[in-house]
Every structure is written in C-alpha cells, then in structure tokens.
Amino acid sequence: MKLGIIGLPQSGKTTIFNALTRGNTPTTASAGRIEVHTAVVDVPDPRVDKLSAMFKPKKTIYAKVTYADIAGLEGGSASPQGAARTGISGQLLNQLAQMEGFILVVRAFDDVNVPHPSGSVDPKRDVEAMLSELLLNDLIAVERKLERLNEERRKGGTDKTINARQTELFERLNKTLSDNQPLRDMEFNAEEQKELASYGLLTRKPILTVFNLGEGQKAPPVELDHPCVDLMGKLEMEIAQLSPDDAAVFMQEYGIEELSLSKMIRLSYDLLKLQSFFTVGEDEVRAWTTRRGASAVEAAGEIHTDLQRGFVRAEVVAYEDLISLGGMNEAKAKGKLRLEGKEYLVKDGDIMHIRFNV
C-alpha cells in the first residue's frame, strides 16, 4: 500500500509525514521544486501483539504501509489566474501516478511566521484548488486521448472496433470531468479497468483530506464528498519524537486519545478498501494485507506466488475464535478451524494456513 501526501506549499505536508512516520524530515523546501520523501511504516495492530504473545514466535512481522511526501504540486493552473491548460509536469505526474491513493493536507492553522502563499488561510479555497488541479489534469489527458482517437479514425490506421470502444469510454470520462466530477465514483468493467490502468488518471484514485489544525483549534466547517480527518500536525509531530512514556503524558495533557499514526493508517486501509489476515507459528507471526473481498487463492498469492499457483485448501480460523478458545488445538476441537477452497472470501482477521502442491 503506497499513499502520496500532497498539498499546497506551507500546508504542513511534511509535518504530517513526520507525525505518521516518526521521522525528522526537514519541513522547509523550495516552492515548486519536486521532492519526494518516502518511509515504510509498520501498521500498528493489537491483534498481532496478542497472536505473538500466544505463539511466542522467533519473529513478529507487522503489515507495512508506504507514505510518500510529494512536493511540487501547487494548484496554480487550476486557479483563474493560473497558467495555461498544460496539466501537471511529466516528472511530477509520474510520481503521482505511482500512488494507490492520496492524502491531501490542507492548512487550517494560523502562523505569522509561516505566511500562506495566497495571503490568507482558507481551507475551503485550498481544498477546491487542489481537487481542481487533479481534475484539470485528468480532463486535459482525456481530451488529448480523444483527439488522438479522432486522428486515428480520420487516417484509418487502427482497428475500428478498438477505436470505437476507446472513444465511447473516453467520452464518458470527458463528460464526468466536464461536469466537474472526479472519476473515482464511476463504475468500470474489467476490460475498461485494464484499458485505463496505464493512464494514471489522478481522480480515479481514492483521496483522504487532512485538515492540519493549530493547537486547540476546531476543525473547519468544510463539506467534502470524500473522507476527511482533522489533526494537530505540529503537536503530533513533536509527540512522535518522544519516548513512549513521555508521549503518554503529553497525550493525556492535551486530550489526544489516539496518535495520527494509528488513526491515519486505519483510515488509509478504509480508503483503499484493504484488510489484514494472519499467518502464525513458532517461527513467525505475520500480518498480511489484501483487498476486501479477496478470495483465499488471492490471499495465498500475497504470501507467495507458489502458494497461489499450487493452492489446494486453506485452513482458516477467525481471530476472535482463536483468542477466545486459547489456542489452535482448542479451536480445532470446537470445530472452529475450517478447510476452505479457492473461492472462499477472506475476512478481516482470518488466520490462515495454506495447503499447496507445486
């Protein structure tokens, strides 16, 4: 899972990145310069801790999430005073296209020492500017594709069936974008999804907006058509640098029940419609990530391609059953350890052992 953290200059993107990753990446950068900072973070999961305590393995491995702090996106061409409709630069677009989703950081804090590029703090304006920038880029890309398809039809050098199918698809995209609507809510069949995979259209990707608040500040009254959360970024970055004991005291003092690290990762999972399953044993207890609705054979592929290729059966027990019964033998005795086939739909928290033959 790879999520790109984006936002206007001086919005506190890198502050949020540091809070999430417990890092100390410098929070100042030249506006407009493309910089990407990446960190891989363990997904905090108390279920892994309990399974590790039960099986006492040699290794305990948490699921991972990658966050990329991407600088260089300014929202300029989306504004009325912005540049001509050229879209996002190729170098930056390449970075954005690699992400599975976006975390949009929007400034809501006031700080006289950190002037806002637009001269005032206005979260609603900034959200709209960034979303418009992403949408404008997709609209330009779709219009260019339609122009190429039209040129190909005129010259007669391509398969007419393919051209007609692509034209119909991209005209649908064009209508949605022209109505100022993102593509993420559109439904596509398998063939269309395959067709669009190589285009890296940005508004197809899920997005989570983070309102970066000042200390003690309330969330701004901005209504969005996608998930959002408010965080005191600077404070949480400072807490992330502390020892666990000092952090606990700080959190209690400021009334913070959960650090952004845990909250954002959970929201990231929801954003990308992901879930966790586990493998357990004396050697290793490990959390794996798969999409919600994945089959047992798909989940086996997350562990190793050989397990997917030679899949025979999956031994499955629900996490709650294993914990409440106290062990694998007890779960088997109570009939809670099941054998499932390829089409079994994996549930969040399933503990699986894959039987395979290659």
Residue pLDDT, tens place only, 33-55: 678 899 998 888 999 999 999 99
Q: Give the containing element (helix H, strand E) for 250.
A: helix 244-254
State pLDDT tens for residues 139-191: 999 999 999 999 998 888 778 889 999 999 999 999 999 999 999 989 999 99
Is residue 310 assigned to a domain?
yes
Considering the domain boundaries, does residue 230 fall inside one?
no
Residue 278 confidence (pLDDT) above 90: yes
Mean pLDDT of the chain: 89
Question: In whole angstroms, what is the distance from residue 39 CA to residue 65 CA?
Answer: 8
CA distance 148 to 275: 40
What is the distance between the alpha carbons of residues 13 and 70, in angstroms, rounded to a whole number? 8
- Tokens 């899972």: give the residue: 1
Number of domains forming the structure of the chain: 1
Give me the domain span that covers residue 326: 293-356
Residue 29 included in any domain: no
Of residues 336, 285, 329, the one with CA closest to residue 45: 285
pLDDT in tens, 321-345: 999 999 999 999 999 999 999 999 9
Burial of residue 69, with CB atoms counted within 10 A of its CB: 0-12 exposed, 13-18 middle, 19 or more buried: buried
Residue pointed to by tokens 């905090």: 44
**Domain presence at residue 312:** yes
pLDDT digits (tens, 9 = 90+) for 291-309: 999 999 999 999 999 999 9
Tell me, yes or no, if the pTM score tops 0.75. yes
Residue 328 has a pLDDT of 94
Distance CA 308, CA 290 (A): 13
Q: Would you say residue 352 lies in a domain?
A: yes
- CATH number for the domain spanning 325: value is 3.10.20.30
344 inside domain: yes
Angle at 202 between CA 107 and CA 221, to 5 degrees: 30
Residue 329 lies inside a defined structural domain of this protein: yes
Do the bridges between strand 101-107 and strand 207-212 make them parallel or antiparallel, or are there none, so unpaired?
Answer: parallel
CA dist., res. 48 & res. 349, Å (int): 10
Lowest model confidence (mean pLDDT) among 19-33, 51-65, 193-207, 226-240: 19-33
